[in-house]
Structure 1
Amino acid sequence: MTGVLEGFGVITVVIAVGFVLAHLGVVTLDYQWMLSRLVFFVGSPALLFSVLADTDVGGALSKALVANAASVAAVAVIALVLARWRWRRGWADTTLAALCAGYVNAGNLGLPIAIYVLGDASAVAGALLLQLLVLAPLAFVVLDQSESMERPTVLTVLSRPFRNPLTVGAVVGVVVALTGVPVPRWVADPIDLLAGLAIPGMLIAFGISLRLGPKPGASGAGTQVAILTVVKLAVQPLVAYLVARFALGLDGSALLAVVVVAGLPTAQNVFVTAVRYDRSVAVVRDVVFATTVLSFLTILAIAALLA
């Protein structure tokens, strides 16, 4: 339980810093835009490289990854169907809805919870790889295309993910992990330093938005936010449990790890992505806020039931 409390405590304090700075007039809403772009183009790519370069890729490709992928696929399909055909959203907004439903906060919340609750930081490695090497590139293809008026070619579609800084950082990190090529200190140290921008930057930007942006619940899409929150915090961990327990035969700590990771809230970098592409910003912000607050209860419940 200590890990759950610590993870949420860290996030709350840093978000509160952004909120207080905005409240005191030290920063304006423009700073949110600036921080989000800085995180998107510099901090997050550096962080992804640093984390994945040290990841045991072989160990991450396990039954846990299969269960995680199944849970993500299930909730993404639900979100896609709802956003596209019930809420009549365009493909960019529909893509962000799918990310809200299935893209977990495996970094700044998942890592401390994995360390202190599960006792193994590698428990989130599979989720990180799935999100950074599969989900994010697919999402960016759609989001980038939504900004372009040109008819896409096959080469454009295939190359677009590798023109996105997040994908590039993740891919290079995995290549280093697989090959074991040593990274010189004069390269690794600046990257590690820049990686320190990512988590505080996105959380402070989120806090600024809470104070100066539309108030939580003011997105005008309360039903969508509520449904996406339920899908994220209830449906995804339930699917992960059913697949892991009955299809893959996992139990004990392995089963607990799968379900806890699936029960993590929507990642803050989905909000950063929404700001970057200026799509569904208020809705995404509300889903991130709601899932972050409520996941404290769901993760405690998961830990109590399966530990």
Structure 2
Amino acid sequence: MLGILTGFAIILAIIFVGYLLSRTGIIGDDRQRLVLNRVAFYAATPALLFHVVATSDPANLFSPVIAVTFLATALTALLFCVVSAIFFRRDIPTTAMGAASAAYVNSNNIGLPVSIYVLGTGAFVAPVLVLQLVVFSPLMLGALSVDGGSAAADGGAPDRHSSRAKILTVIKNSLFSPIVLASVAGLVVSLARWEVPDPVMAPVEILGGASIPMILLSFGASLTSTTVLDSVADRPSVLTATGIKLVGMPLIAWLLGLAFGLSTEGLYAAVILAALPTAQNVYNYAATYRKGEVVARDSVFLTTFTALPVMLIIALLFGR
């Protein structure tokens, strides 16, 4: 239980500091707040991800628990997209942020202490982080790069050359973003079992340490300018993403774990990982691209505050 409480205490305390900085005018407006997101996106987060992935054990990538987590993430995101398409159709970036909010777990600043103190090992966190960043982040960033237009400006048929150019731009933006490049570079270092010299890795580690605090400070500062669930248009997406994240994803992970024949320990690990709240990275991506920002922000807020009792219930159900 201590790991769960520690992880949530870290996040909530820094969010509160960001809120206070905004309320007192030290962070004056959205332009100042978004500087934190941009620095995190283009510098600090890539450094953090390179360090985490490069120093991870590649053998952990092939754990059955990680396979279950990967499939649970994909199925959860798909579930949100299906529900959204049937009941409240939104543009591609907003839908992508809703799917990410439902499936992209906070595997770092909450996942790490939870994994160490609750599961007894940090071995599961790095592989989950790698899979999310190498597989799912490019998809999110690609969706955020879509402008939503599919037809020509005059209302006629779409221009094939223009459509092709847009697709290539989306692929380029997603694959060559600093987040993805750093994750892939770290994966190469990990798989090759190279050891990066300390004069190189130490500055990377220090810069990466600024990532999560900056994202959380910006998140807290954003809470003074708006109210959670204030947007009527985004409310269905937010509530659906939150419900699926808190209940749907752990249930999907549990069913997959049973199908994969996981041990009790492995099943508990998979369900706990699935119950982690939405990662702040989802909000950082949305805030950087200024698309689907409300859905990401509100979902992160709600899941961060409500995941704790869900995880405590899971622990009790497994007799922990």
Give TM-score scaled by structure 2 length: 0.90
Residues 1:46 and 1:13: Cα distance change in structure 2 (over 3 Å): same
Q: Is the 8 A contact 2:50 2:185 kept in 1?
A: yes
Structure whose CA Rg is larger: 2
Query: By how many angstroms is 1:151 displaced?
Result: 2.7
Residue equivalent to 1:286: 298
Q: Is the 8 A contact 2:92 2:148 kept in 1?
A: no
CA distance in 2: counterparts of 1:110 and 1:35, whole angstroms: 22
Query: By how many angstroms is 1:156 displaced?
Result: 5.1
Residues 1:51 and 1:4: Cα distance change in structure 2 (over 3 Å): same
Q: Is the 8 A contact 1:2 1:116 kept in 2?
A: yes
Cα offsets for 1:162-194 (capped at 9, x unmatched): 310100110001111111222122211211111
Most deviating of 102-111 and 147-156: 147-156
CA distance in 2: counterparts of 1:281 and 1:208, whole angstroms: 14
Q: Structure 1: which 5+ runs fail to align?
A: none
Residue equivalent to 1:268: 280
1:71-220 to structure 2, matched below 5 A, reads 71-146=72-147, 150-152=162-164, 158-211=171-224, 213-220=225-232
Residue equivalent to 1:296: 308
Residue equivalent to 1:19: 19
> Kindly, what percent of the aligned residue pairs are identical?
36
Work out whether 1:227 is the aligned partner of 2:228: no
More helix by share: 1
CA distance in 2: counterparts of 1:28 and 1:268, whole angstroms: 21
CA distance in 2: counterparts of 1:228 and 1:151, whole angstroms: 30
Query: By how many angstroms is 1:99 displaced?
Result: 0.4
Q: What amino acid does structure 2 have at the position aligned with 1:289?
A: F
Please, which of 254, 274, 290 is the counterpart of residue 241 of structure 1?
254
Residues 1:193 and 1:282: Cα distance change in structure 2 (over 3 Å): same
CA distance in 1: counterparts of 2:132 and 2:219, whole angstroms: 21
Please, which of 266, 289, 302 is the counterpart of residue 254 of structure 1?
266
Cα offsets for 1:115-153 (capped at 9, x unmatched): 111111112223212211100011212222439995335
Query: By how many angstroms is 1:214 displaced?
Result: 1.1
CA distance in 1: counterparts of 2:172 and 2:236, whole angstroms: 37
Cα offsets for 1:42-81 (capped at 9, x unmatched): 1110000010011112222221122112211221112112
Q: Is the 8 A contact 2:145 2:170 kept in 1?
A: no
Residue equivalent to 2:5: 5
Query: C-alpha root-mean-square deviation of aligned residues, in Å?
Result: 1.8
Q: What amino acid does structure 2 have at the position aligned with 1:186?
A: P
Give TM-score scaled by structure 1 length: 0.94
Q: What amino acid does structure 2 have at the position aligned with 1:263?
A: A
TM superposition outliers: structure 1 runs of 4+ over 4 Å: 147-150, 153-159
Q: Structure 2: which 5+ runs fail to align?
A: 151-161
Q: Is the 8 A contact 2:143 2:170 kept in 1?
A: no
Query: By how many angstroms is 1:8 displaced?
Result: 0.5
